[in-house]
Amino acid sequence: MLEQTAANRPTLEAVAARAGVSRATASRVVNGGAGVRQPLVDKVRAAVDELGYVPNHAARSLVTRRHGAVAVVIAEPEFRVFSDPFFAQQLRGISRELTSNDIQLVLLWVENESDHERIARYLAGGHVDGAIAFSLHGDGRLPALITGSKVPTVLGGRPGAEASPALPYVDCDNRGGAREAVRHLVSLGRRTIAHIAGPSDQTSALDRIAGYHDVLVDPDPELLREGHFTEESGARAMAELLDRRPDVDGVFVASDLMALGALRVLHERGRRVPRDVAVVGFDDMETVVRASDPALTTVRQDVEGLGRLSVKLLLKLLNRPAGHVPASVIMPTTLIRRASA
Amino acid sequence: MLEQTAANRPTLEAVAARAGVSRATASRVVNGGAGVRQPLVDKVRAAVDELGYVPNHAARSLVTRRHGAVAVVIAEPEFRVFSDPFFAQQLRGISRELTSNDIQLVLLWVENESDHERIARYLAGGHVDGAIAFSLHGDGRLPALITGSKVPTVLGGRPGAEASPALPYVDCDNRGGAREAVRHLVSLGRRTIAHIAGPSDQTSALDRIAGYHDVLVDPDPELLREGHFTEESGARAMAELLDRRPDVDGVFVASDLMALGALRVLHERGRRVPRDVAVVGFDDMETVVRASDPALTTVRQDVEGLGRLSVKLLLKLLNRPAGHVPASVIMPTTLIRRASA
């Protein structure tokens, strides 16, 4: 492309004339091409290339969105993606926000480690304008591969140390929410407060553990059990807790789904909730909370809102000059008091 | 590209030499590029283009799989995709089969009519080698748009009349399975047998209705109610049935999820199953059947197997000479007798 000054820059009018379309059509194509027939889109894009048209700042965003598609990568296997309502809710927010911008969502998930390179190849292959990756695990190679693919990416959830610090992210205040949950159990007079945590290779789990430790200095390590954010792992952790510390009278569980499993085991073992053991969850997933008996006290995070926010952040990233990374966003959490604590 | 006879065709060796790589590497790239670093992939592909290399018949398949990605289009909104286990199970089969062929699955779903054109643009945009589309609705424009996108496509489910007959499909024997279900109710001595059908814009629903009519000639139209394959719509249809034909003593329900809703209403209205009303479902979805009380008699279809089969059929389609469409496949169904009928 020739060096150009502002004075001799080709205009959108020139592009329209070269392509043989109206200025409005040329503008729509430069703005993403929505509603324009493919042959016209091709003609306008060819004219843009031939003339070396550089859109002004306001229009530049559109050129960066040439594929009209964004990849959403969930670093979890299919059985988790389609059984944990957390993912559906996050995808609902992402899907709605992308659709309202006429951008196609393409979903990819990770069945096992051997998928990582193929996903990175797809991302690097020029099929999408950007990516949103969530539920990353610290021990995987995916964060590095995503960074290496050079596709503008926003993370759902604070990245671990191994991910590039240049990737912006959206997250909820995991640590603050956990603190509030544990403080609530303390305020109820509970003395032996356990924590059923998520997997220790995820920052959301680590941050909730940190919040637990912020309130309870030096608790018995037996009171901290690790699950995998599944109902079954919550049940298993609760059973272990009751075996090792039968005097437990409060449990902060790092997800509603795990709390459901914990409540089931407490019921089976004849412990009354909240009288014998008070239980606080995390997430406030409607479908899960509806199934809980008694109604679950939990830390609410706006999962759909986080999904929407991740898209907004990605669009900012795509529309900023190279090297300018928008600031990450942390959403607040709220304790929702119901019957279980 | 020059006209070439077999004698002067460039060989794979020539491609390797031009690209400066080993024959093995060139072969791997021509076979999809798995495990080869991107710079080498680019070099080999450039050499293929420069020399006009035409792979032999055995290798031709690989050239048609240049993106290493297949789109799966589910013509349902997100809330259905992530709440009905049918989709998770079909995706499990598709995902496993694609992964074992080192092909990336990219999932797209359809929130509303306005998404159709964007999806067609994505498919036509050269981002995927093929597509698998399922849960199509006859009244939508999607089948025509998919055909128009020229991307090799396999359908999950028999297409309606408006879709191109050239698209191969996989399906289960919906009509035969329905016949077996209704015959079973007849064999139990049931006289007033109703059918809760799926939406009449889907061939799977229509074929099951046809099977019902194969066995019961000219039943009271009040006995045929339409649902939407959701639990809630099954409950609503059952309530209507009991209001209009309180003498109903057998119901064939076109999906397990709808049967779950129907069982709930029968229980609420004090009807004993199977004594007062015998119920047969369709699908044999493990998670749904586990939640049913009494255990659900149902028509089993191998949904995961159908998913795998759709990938195999697509790979056949990609590897055949243009114009050769492989035959569609119908999988058999099996009646699984449990307590509800």
What confidence category does residue B15 fall into, taking pLDDT thresholds of 50, 70 and 90? confident
Give me the mean pLDDT over the A97-120 stretch: 90
Kindly report whether the peptide bond that precedes residue B274 is cis, defined as omega within 30 degrees of 0. yes
The distance of Cα B172 from the centroid of its chain, to the nearest Å, equals 10
The distance of Cα A305 from the centroid of its chain, to the nearest Å, equals 10
Kindly report whether the peptide bond that precedes residue A274 is cis, defined as omega within 30 degrees of 0. yes
Instruction: Answer yes or no: do A92 and B78 touch at CB < 8 A.
Output: yes
Contact of B105 with chain A, judged by CB distance below 8 Å, is answered with: yes
Contact of A188 with chain B, judged by CB distance below 8 Å, is answered with: no
CATH number at A174-300: 3.40.50.2300
Cβ-Cβ contacts under 8 Å, B34 against chain A: 118
The distance of Cα B336 from the centroid of its chain, to the nearest Å, equals 22
CA distance, residue A69 to nearest chain B CA (Å)? 8
CA distance, residue B108 to nearest chain A CA (Å)? 5
Kindly report whether the peptide bond that precedes residue A294 is cis, defined as omega within 30 degrees of 0. yes
Q: Please determine, for residue B5, whether its predicted confidence score (pLDDT) is greater than 90.
A: no
CA distance, residue B160 to nearest chain A CA (Å)? 26
Measured CA to CA, the distance from residue B104 to residue A270 in angstroms comes to 48
Instruction: Answer yes or no: do A125 and B33 touch at CB < 8 A.
Output: no
The topology under which CATH files domain A12-63 is: 434 Repressor (Amino-terminal Domain) (1.10.260)
Nearest to A68 among B88, B102, B121 (CB): B121
Helix (H) or strand (E) holding B94: helix B85-100
What confidence category does residue B72 fall into, taking pLDDT thresholds of 50, 70 and 90? very high
pLDDT value of position B207:
97
- Kindly report the number of other CB atoms within 10 A of residue B267's CB atom: 13
Contact of B37 with chain A, judged by CB distance below 8 Å, is answered with: no
Measured CA to CA, the distance from residue B123 to residue B115 in angstroms comes to 12
Q: Please determine, for residue B227, whether its predicted confidence score (pLDDT) is greater than 90.
A: yes
Contact of B127 with chain A, judged by CB distance below 8 Å, is answered with: yes
Identify the residue with better confidence: A187 or A136. A187
pLDDT, tens only, B266-289: 999 999 999 999 999 999 999 899
| Number of alpha helices (DSSP H) and beta strands (DSSP E) in chain B | 14, 12
Helices A12-19 and A38-51, packing angle to 10 deg:
120
What confidence category does residue A54 fall into, taking pLDDT thresholds of 50, 70 and 90? low
Per CATH, the homologous superfamily of domain B69-170+304-328 is: Response regulator (3.40.50.2300)
What confidence category does residue A266 fall into, taking pLDDT thresholds of 50, 70 and 90? very high
Contact of B72 with chain A, judged by CB distance below 8 Å, is answered with: no
pLDDT value of position A15:
87
Mean pLDDT, rounded, of chain B? 88
Reading the block at residue A49, the tokens are 């290339």
Q: Please determine, for residue A83, whether its predicted confidence score (pLDDT) is greater than 50.
A: yes
| CB of A156 closer than 8 Å to CB of A134 | yes
Identify the residue with better confidence: B39 or A304. A304
Measured CA to CA, the distance from residue B3 to residue B154 in angstroms comes to 33
**What would the 3-class secondary structure string for chain A be?**
CCCCCCCCCCCHHHHHHHHCCCHHHHHHHHCCCCCCCHHHHHHHHHHHHHHCCCCCHHHHHHHCCCCCEEEEEECCCHHHHCCCHHHHHHHHHHHHHHHHCCCEEEEEECCCCCHHHHHHHHHHCCCCCEEEEECCCCCCCHHHHHHHCCCCEEEECCCCCCCCCCCCEEEECHHHHHHHHHHHHHHCCCCCEEEEECCCCCHHHHHHHHHHHHHCCCCCHHHEEECCCCHHHHHHHHHHHHHHCCCCCEEEECCHHHHHHHHHHHHHCCCCCCCCCEEEEEECCHHHHHHCCCCCEEEECCHHHHHHHHHHHHHHHHHCCCCCCCCCEEECCEEECCCCC
Contact of B305 with chain A, judged by CB distance below 8 Å, is answered with: no
Contact of B96 with chain A, judged by CB distance below 8 Å, is answered with: yes
What confidence category does residue B9 fall into, taking pLDDT thresholds of 50, 70 and 90? low
**Nearest alpha-carbon partner for B206 in B165, B179, B234, B175:** B175
CA distance, residue B84 to nearest chain A CA (Å)? 9
Instruction: Answer yes or no: do B122 and A104 touch at CB < 8 A.
Output: yes
| CB of B186 closer than 8 Å to CB of B252 | no
Q: What percent of chain A has pLDDT over 90?
A: 64
User: Which residue does chain A place closest to B96, by CA atoms?
Assistant: A111
Instruction: Answer yes or no: do A122 and B83 touch at CB < 8 A.
Output: no
**Nearest alpha-carbon partner for B209 in B177, B165, B250:** B177
Instruction: Answer yes or no: do B88 and A111 touch at CB < 8 A.
Output: no
Measured CA to CA, the distance from residue A326 to residue A324 in angstroms comes to 6
Contact of B104 with chain A, judged by CB distance below 8 Å, is answered with: yes
Instruction: Answer yes or no: do B71 and A106 touch at CB < 8 A.
Output: yes
- Kindly report the number of other CB atoms within 10 A of residue A49's CB atom: 11
- Kindly report the number of other CB atoms within 10 A of residue B268's CB atom: 12
Cβ-Cβ contacts under 8 Å, A38 against chain B: 121, 124
Reading the block at residue A9, the tokens are 């820059």
Q: Please determine, for residue A309, whether its predicted confidence score (pLDDT) is greater than 80.
A: yes
CA distance, residue A294 to nearest chain B CA (Å)? 20
Q: Please determine, for residue A125, whether its predicted confidence score (pLDDT) is greater than 90.
A: no
pLDDT value of position A31:
67
The distance of Cα A126 from the centroid of its chain, to the nearest Å, equals 23
pLDDT, tens only, A2-27: 333 344 567 788 888 899 998 888 88
Mean pLDDT, rounded, of chain A? 88
What confidence category does residue B13 fall into, taking pLDDT thresholds of 50, 70 and 90? confident
Task: Identify the residue among A104, A151, A230 best suited for mutation to test binding to B, counting B beta carbons within 10 A and taking the highest.
Answer: A104
Cβ-Cβ contacts under 8 Å, B68 against chain A: 118, 121-122, 125
**Nearest alpha-carbon partner for A32 in A318, A321, A324, A322:** A318
Contact of A222 with chain B, judged by CB distance below 8 Å, is answered with: no
Contact of A125 with chain B, judged by CB distance below 8 Å, is answered with: yes
Measured CA to CA, the distance from residue B117 to residue A102 in angstroms comes to 10
ipTM above 0.90, yes or no: no
Nearest to B124 among A35, A38, A124 (CB): A38
What confidence category does residue A149 fall into, taking pLDDT thresholds of 50, 70 and 90? confident
CATH number at A69-171+304-330: 3.40.50.2300
Measured CA to CA, the distance from residue A95 to residue A104 in angstroms comes to 8
Nearest to A125 among B67, B102, B121 (CB): B67
Cβ-Cβ contacts under 8 Å, B109 against chain A: 95
User: Which residue does chain B place closest to A69, by CA atoms?
Assistant: B122
Reading the block at residue B284, the tokens are 């044999």
Reading the block at residue B36, the tokens are 């080869």
Reading the block at residue A299, the tokens are 């830390």
Alpha-carbon distances, residue B215 vs A263, A313, B177, B275 (angstroms): 48, 58, 12, 22
Compute the C-alpha angle B267/B271/B272, nearest 5°: 90
pLDDT value of position B7:
44
Cβ-Cβ contacts under 8 Å, B35 against chain A: 117
pLDDT, tens only, A64-81: 567 889 999 999 999 899
Identify the residue with better confidence: A22 or A132. A132
Q: Please determine, for residue B58, whether its predicted confidence score (pLDDT) is greater than 60.
A: no
Nearest to B111 among A71, A87, A99 (CB): A99
Give me the mean pLDDT over the A82-86 stretch: 91
Measured CA to CA, the distance from residue B69 to residue B104 in angstroms comes to 4
Measured CA to CA, the distance from residue B182 to residue B190 in angstroms comes to 10
CA distance, residue A106 to nearest chain B CA (Å)? 5
Instruction: Answer yes or no: do B121 and A78 touch at CB < 8 A.
Output: no
Contacts 24+ apart (CB under 8 A), B144-150: B145/B116, B145/B117, B145/B119, B145/B120, B146/B73, B146/B120, B148/B120, B148/B124, B149/B120, B149/B123, B149/B124, B150/B124
Instruction: Answer yes or no: do B88 and A83 touch at CB < 8 A.
Output: yes
DSSP B10: P
Q: Please determine, for residue A59, whether its predicted confidence score (pLDDT) is greater than 60.
A: no
Q: Please determine, for residue B124, whether its predicted confidence score (pLDDT) is greater than 50.
A: yes
Lowest mean pLDDT among A141-145, B160-164, B212-216: B160-164
**Nearest alpha-carbon partner for B146 in B137, A107, B198:** B137
Helix (H) or strand (E) holding B131: strand B130-134
Tell me the one-letter amino acid at B149: S
Phi-psi region of B230 (alpha: psi -120 to 50; beta: other; left: phi over 0): beta
Lowest mean pLDDT among A256-260, A287-291, A332-336, B129-133: A287-291
Q: Which of B10-19, B35-44, B204-213 has the highest mean pLDDT?
A: B204-213
Asked if domains A69-171+304-330 and A174-300 share a fold, the reply is yes
Lowest mean pLDDT among A180-189, A272-281, B163-172: B163-172
Instruction: Answer yes or no: do B102 and A118 touch at CB < 8 A.
Output: yes
pLDDT value of position A58:
35
Task: Identify the residue among A121, A128, A129 best suited for mutation to test binding to B, counting B beta carbons within 10 A and taking the highest.
Answer: A121
Q: Where are the domains of chain B?
A: 12-63, 69-170+304-328, 174-300
